Amino acid sequence: MDTVKAGTTIKQGGFQLWERELLESPEVKRKATVAQLYFFDYYFQALGYIASRKERRARFDADTEERNLSVTSPQYAREFKSYCGRERVILRRRRTKLRVEQFHIIAQVGQGGYGEVFLARKLETGEVCALKKMRKKTLFKMDEIRHVLVERDILTATKTPWLVRLLYAFQDAEHVYLAMEYVPGGDFRTLLNNSGVLKEEHARFYIGEMFAAVNELHRLGYIHRDLKPENFLVDGTGHVKLTDFGLATGALNPKLIESLKIKLDKVKDNEIVQRSTLERRSLYRSIRNVDPRYADSVVGSPDYMAPEVLRGKPYSYSVDYWSLGCILFEFLAGFPPFSGGTPDETWTNLKNWTKVLKRPEYDRPEDLIFNLTDIAWDAITRLIAHASVRYVALNQVMGHPFFKGVHWDDMRNTRAPFVPALDSEIDTGYYDDFTSPEDMAKYAEVKEKQKNVSKVKEKEVQFGRGVWVGFTFGKNGPGVNMKGLGGSDTPDDGSTLTTIF
């Protein structure tokens, strides 16, 4: 995005070295982009408001003219006064800053180490959303601010149906909030837990949609790096949406990289535990039954992480394809390719992935249907492979025989194998019940993580207000997100002016 016309000079005589370094710093580049986005959003919203105001006035004039009301009649004067009153209400709402009090909390639907997610309804518009609430001080002391800002930037940069849509982003003195579209079918882990091993045609459908979603992220210039089934949500029609972009940034936290390296180094002398396919599947199921929030633990995510990410080495977009290869393996085998009975066993398997990756084999007659076809296994090994030969682009995936028959241009209009049974737009049946002790028992490790986070010493340096510059997104009143007060009720088709990139 160019900010200066070609051939013009910003500063006579050029920049000094320290000025060039400052201009090239990631923080300055982000703030420049945020400033551009702010003005785009400001003028798009202003122009949208003007257009909708003209439409409302035209409807008022047409209605009074149809009823033959004279502009000098008392009835017209009363109705015009009422019309002006409604316009003033809309203007006041546009000027009001977003606050959490403007959302009615319906139920909690998520819990993480740094915050909570609630199903909420915006009071004045009736919009249903998933409201993510995070404490500023916690994000600061855990060096997570950048990840939250990146997530906000990704969500505002596109309107594709493959990524969860951001409705509002706002803040108060203590917290930051992301109000995103509510995806009622739960995450893909829930679907996997209920279905076990997927039929090959169903696995092809879902992994194809996951590739399409990840491709949209790559088109924006981001790499996810932490993909797992929990990152994919199922919408009301049974189709997939990608969420949770916290690590999709330029560089991983050095502390995280170091911790991953240490875990790999600790198991370098460990022997590989040889297990049969049936034993590995049964073991993984038992671990899942004991700890349903397995992916929220330290061991969970690395099951799907590419070796170069774990080792802190240079990497490309292909690391996300490694993760999708691991997910496809789990779809067809019932367990991730490197899962172990203990954390150390898992890390040992990851360290020795070339020796551990084996085609699942079943001997018992009743299990023969779980054996992978040659084409499916070939697809997996094109993805779970050394970086130099691994698939790195969607057109490579599309050309593989395993995906023959997939209608890539019309995937979201294809009927999904599983369509959630929903009672209403606020149905939370596919999420954990946070009022149930049984469901809360699943979050023991998450709660422990929260306790450990709270014990971390606060940083001596206080973060300035400028850290959260550009975070706020969306306005009260008619506009992109507004319905019922003159805003458009037309579903977003991805071609509106609100798509910046």
- Measured distance CA(235)–CA(105) in Å, rounded: 21
> Is 226 among the catalytic positions?
yes
- Measured distance CA(6)–CA(305) in Å, rounded: 42
- Measured distance CA(349)–CA(223) in Å, rounded: 24
Q: Helix, strand, coil proportions of the chain in percent (round to 5)?
A: 50, 10, 40
| DSSP code of residue 69 | -
CB 244 within 8 A of CB 152: no
Dmax over Cα atoms in the chain, in whole Å?
93
Please state the φ and ψ torsions of residue 103, each to the nearest 5 degrees. -115, 130
Q: Is 132 annotated as a binding residue?
A: yes
- Measured distance CA(189)–CA(204) in Å, rounded: 17
Residue 310, SS3 per DSSP: helix
Structure tokens at 15: 């920049």
| DSSP code of residue 187 | B
Beta strands in 174-320 (DSSP E): 175-181, 232-234, 240-242
In the set 226, 235, 296, 320, the catalytic residue is 226
CB 72 within 8 A of CB 78: no
Residue given tokens 């130099």 in the structure block: 388
- Measured distance CA(147)–CA(82) in Å, rounded: 47
Nearest residue to 402 (alpha-carbon basis) of 329, 345, 335: 329
Residue given tokens 């009363």 in the structure block: 78
**Residue 381 CB coordination number (10 Å):** 15
Strand partners, 233: 187, 241
**Residue 158 CB coordination number (10 Å):** 19
- Measured distance CA(248)–CA(150) in Å, rounded: 7
Helix 26-66 / helix 74-95 crossing angle, nearest 10 deg: 170
Specify binding-site residues for ATP. Answer: 132
Known binding-site residues equal 132
User: Active-site positions?
Assistant: 226
